[in-house]
Amino acid sequence: MKKTIGFIGLGVMGAGMARNVAEAGFDLVVTTRSPDKADIFRKIGACVAENPAELAARCDVIVTCVPDASALRALVEGESGLAAGRWDNGLLIDCSTIAPFETTEIARALAKAGASVIDAPVSGGAKGADSGTLTIMCGGAGKDFERARDVLQAMGKNIHHVGPLGAGQAVKACNQLMVSINMMGVFEAIGLARAAGVDPKVMREVLSTGAARSGVLEAHALRYLDDSLQPGFRAELMRKDLGIANAVGSHFNITQPATNLAHQMLIATCNNGHAGLDSAAMGLLYETLNGLSEGEGR
């Protein structure tokens, strides 16, 4: 028997993820405030629910992929939210990126309605969401993870159960701080190469074959150098994620100088007018700091 899966959050990441759920053979039900998005999903055979409460009445398993904890809290705790009535044996697979303690708060609200949660933030960008090759890092009870496995496998290639509830969000915070710190190194290297009269594209190609190679050098540097900065993963969302990484570190009283600096650089990137561009727009900030006009040298 086909499982019916609900999905909320049909943005840059979520749309591709939801399509892959449908293509994997699940019956898909979505809810969205966008008539255009609703029509797109109707055309691929999905049903459209009026609100999250109706979605919970129709689906035992629901995936969410929304920008932040306030958006998720509204979906769960609102008047027509997932927890507005009983949702016995319901399971929320939350692919949003929020703080571990915020996941715990959502879980408490859903437990009162009879449902449980796994946190399942993702990495791999819009390309990975479209192709179903995301890395998904999951926290939660083992039985809930096993129940979610087939849905997760429809959306990602590398599925990891990393610990109890909130652990997935902790690992995602680690991922985001490493990506952002690496971006600083990449854009400083591009600035150095440019100042020394070396074509940054050549520098990138050479370093991509040696010890400095990384996903950031491969993808983020290329997006910047090719002036392909339409999101993608927006700079304002990476700024939010680094705020989470800082908050988690502060909670545990650990030293995070590089994370703090990366967060400040992302704040500056957004304040410089690039909040809605891809996070690789940090490269534009480095141009400004190096006295270049935007786009000079690319």
Q: Is the pTM of this model over 0.85?
A: yes
HSE, side-chain direction, 13 A CA sphere, residue 46: 29
Q: What is the pLDDT of residue 106?
A: 97
- Domain end position, chosen among 123, 139, 164: 164
Handedness of CA 259, 264, 268, 274 (dihedral sign): positive
The pLDDT tens digits for 159-213 are 999 999 999 999 999 999 999 999 999 999 999 999 999 999 999 999 999 999 9
Q: Is residue 65 part of a domain?
A: yes
Q: What is the pLDDT of residue 10?
A: 96
Reply yes or no on whether the pLDDT at 298 is more than 70.
Answer: no
In a shared domain, residues 248 and 160: no
In a shared domain, residues 159 and 188: no
- State the chain's maximal CA–CA distance in angstroms: 65
Residue 77, domain CATH: 3.40.50.720
In a shared domain, residues 57 and 14: yes
Alpha helices in the chain (DSSP H): 14-23, 35-43, 52-58, 69-77, 100-111, 125-131, 142-155, 167-195, 200-207, 215, 221-225, 235-251, 257-269, 282-289
Of 65, 57, 63, 82, nearest in space to 150 by CA? 63
Our answer to whether residue 172 is catalytic in this structure is yes
pLDDT bin (cut points 50, 70, 90) of residue 21 is very high
Q: Could you give the number of structural domains in the chain?
A: 2
Assess contact for 26 and 45: CB atoms under 8 A.
Answer: no
For residue 239, the enclosing domain spans: 170-289
Q: What is the pLDDT of residue 232?
A: 79
Q: Is residue 298 part of a domain?
A: no
User: Which of 3, 112, 172, 201 is an active site residue?
Assistant: 172
DSSP string, 60-129: SEEEE--SSHHHHHHHHHSTTSTTSS--TT-EEEE-S---HHHHHHHHHHHHTTT-EEEE--EESHHHHH
Q: What is the pLDDT of residue 202?
A: 97
In a shared domain, residues 29 and 109: yes
